Structure 1
Amino acid sequence: MSTDGDPFYTGELSVIGRVTTASNLTLVCDLDGVDARVVYKPVRGERPLWDFPDGTLAGREVASYLVARALGWPVIPETILRDGPLGPGMVQRWVESVDSGRRGRLDLVDLVPIGAVPAGFREVLRAVDGTGEEVSLVHADDPRLRRMAVLDVLLNNADRKGGHALEGIDGGVYGVDHGICLHSEPKLRTVLWGWAGEPIEDESLTDIAALVKALPGEVGDGLAAHITDAEIEALGARGRQVLDDPVLPLPVSARPIPWPAF
């Protein structure tokens, strides 16, 4: 794929804002000279994590995108490692998302009153919100979101929060914030448990088989710039496990949902 002349790869980034709710420095930038926006996470703005000591969070975001691209699943916006105003960092194409509030509909992952799960949604758990009201955590029963749940199993995503699943105005569903993925030890934490125990579609299994086959070659070589050999081997092992037992897993840890959940 040629990147010649694409400002996403070489254009100057102008910082226009900061995502203040993010754990690490996350900047919103315009690409100078074109009508395009990106998310920029400089490596120097990362907080060290004791349980993810290898590489960088930016590199893990890029590696997660490379896995999704190898599968042929347009689930993660294009993500690269490049220079920016604060040095090298992750740069990701901006997703213009649907404003669910204005459309009078729920987000892909949302909270509803107990007993009021709407059609087309699946209940994940029941809890108490910040005001003391009993609520249900739900997510859309949407095949685009289901594919994200399968991807998270392969990525060993330790932080799939509700706000990390976006419905684009282009009709796509995208996952963002993959800085703590691809560890060699089991760490899956997600809000997308509504399909747990259900079969994975044959089409997805075909793509996963192709990924596993390609890992020892060009795909693995690309990942090696961002994650360790042990983590690449663990990715292949997770892929083979899915092929051997093609169902979305059930929660097995004491903390299967990230906190906060949004």
Structure 2
Amino acid sequence: MPAPERIPAGSVSADAVPLLTHGELTVRGRIREASNAVLYCTVAYEGREAACVYKPVAGERPLWDFPDGTLAQREVAAYEVSLATGWDLVPPTVLREGPHGEGMCQLWIEGSDDVELLALVDGDEPGEGWKAVGLAQVDEERTALLVHADDARLRRLAVLDAVINNSDRKGGHLLASGGHLWGIDHGVTFHAENKLRTLLWGWAGEPLTEEAVEVLQGLRDGLKEGAALAERLAPLITGAETEALRARVAELLRSGRHPEPAGDWPPIPWPPV
């Protein structure tokens, strides 16, 4: 069988959704490092084939703070919000039936190993081109400064994470491919309570860019009762979660700044990668 197509960044959104939604899904293996069931698959439709990830609801591990059986829907909701921003930060993701029942299906993105987005450095200054996150324990005797790239693409993702209330933005959830940046693994998002936990705190308290403000204004309009984005999110998250989403967008627009850690929730996920 020929290798599945690796669809390049910049061409994925228009074509991948019908492929993922209607294509024949074939499981090729399991990604065992994941805490929930994550299956590497191919999907074929109308003569086109691509690699994808399938996460069946039946393979989700119960969590103490998220309702059981809702992570797949949250992944799709994150894609819908990303799509509405115009930034395309989340690979195309759909909810569909698969070999192990309903689950989310997301286009596989092959990341580049030669792109450095995160680093540990000695000293108390991040250096040019980097933003400091905080100290991280390397081993029993050494701590180092955890930094991330001062990159406009990451900054957009920091805004998206604040909007969707991402409680698990780790380094392993960042993929650079063909000059494009993708964020993956959005199952623990959209909680009604503030649970933002991320490695992208480098812009905390700084003013939002004009671009981000315009995007947030568009999200505010799209989330109004009866608007297109609100309608797409309705079957994916609860009414209370939608209201909390609206409130987060409104607060970002009111403050005009990137959020800062609230202090009542660990600000950095563990392990950070």
TM-score clears 0.5: yes
Q: Residue type of the partner of 1:261?
A: P
Contact 2:16 2:107 in 1 (8 A): no
Q: Residue type of the partner of 1:119?
A: E
Contact 1:128 1:135 in 2 (8 A): yes
Q: CA deviation at 1:135?
A: 1.8
Alignment counterpart, residue 176 of structure 1, candidates 166, 171, 184:
184
Q: Distance in 2 between matches of 1:252 and 1:184?
A: 15
- Alpha-carbon displacement from aligned partner over 1:25-58 (angstroms, at most 9, x marks no partner): 1111122464411111011000111211165100
Q: Distance in 2 between matches of 1:4 and 1:43?
A: 21
State the percentage of identical aligned residues.
48
Q: CA deviation at 1:117?
A: 3.9
RMSD between superposed Cα atoms in Å: 2.1
Q: Are 1:221 and 2:231 matched, yes or no?
A: yes
Q: CA deviation at 1:247?
A: 0.5
Q: Distance in 1 between matches of 2:164 and 2:200?
A: 14
| Structure 2 unaligned regions, length at least 5 | 1-12
Q: CA deviation at 1:16?
A: 2.2
Q: Where does residue 32 of structure 2 map in the other structure?
A: 20
Q: Where does residue 7 of structure 2 map in the other structure?
A: none
Q: Are 1:233 and 2:243 matched, yes or no?
A: yes
Q: Distance in 2 between matches of 1:128 and 1:148?
A: 25
Alignment counterpart, residue 94 of structure 1, candidates 102, 108, 115:
108
Structure 1 length-normalised TM: 0.91
Structure 2 length-normalised TM: 0.87
| Structure 1 unaligned regions, length at least 5 | none
Contact 1:79 1:93 in 2 (8 A): yes
Alignment counterpart, residue 140 of structure 1, candidates 132, 138, 149:
149
Residues 196 and 116 of structure 1: CA distance in aligned 2, closer, same or farther (over 3 Å): closer
Q: Residue type of the partner of 2:80?
A: L
Residues 55 and 237 of structure 1: CA distance in aligned 2, closer, same or farther (over 3 Å): farther
Residues 154 and 15 of structure 1: CA distance in aligned 2, closer, same or farther (over 3 Å): same
Q: Are 1:50 and 2:70 matched, yes or no?
A: no
Residues 116 and 202 of structure 1: CA distance in aligned 2, closer, same or farther (over 3 Å): closer
Residues 7 and 50 of structure 1: CA distance in aligned 2, closer, same or farther (over 3 Å): same
Residues 208 and 55 of structure 1: CA distance in aligned 2, closer, same or farther (over 3 Å): farther
- Alpha-carbon displacement from aligned partner over 1:90-112 (angstroms, at most 9, x marks no partner): 11111121112xxxx6x312323
Q: Residue type of the partner of 1:243?
A: L
Q: Residue type of the partner of 2:144?
A: V
- Runs of 4+ aligned structure 1 residues displaced above 6 Å come to 1-5
Contact 1:28 1:39 in 2 (8 A): yes
Report the secondary structure of 2:156's partner residue: helix
Residues 135 and 2 of structure 1: CA distance in aligned 2, closer, same or farther (over 3 Å): closer
Q: Where does residue 271 of structure 2 map in the other structure?
A: 260
Q: Are 1:109 and 2:124 matched, yes or no?
A: no
Contact 2:133 2:146 in 1 (8 A): yes
Report the secondary structure of 1:189's partner residue: coil
Q: Where does residue 80 of structure 1 map in the other structure?
A: 94
Report the secondary structure of 2:101's partner residue: coil
- Alpha-carbon displacement from aligned partner over 1:117-157 (angstroms, at most 9, x marks no partner): 44311121122214643222111100000000001110111
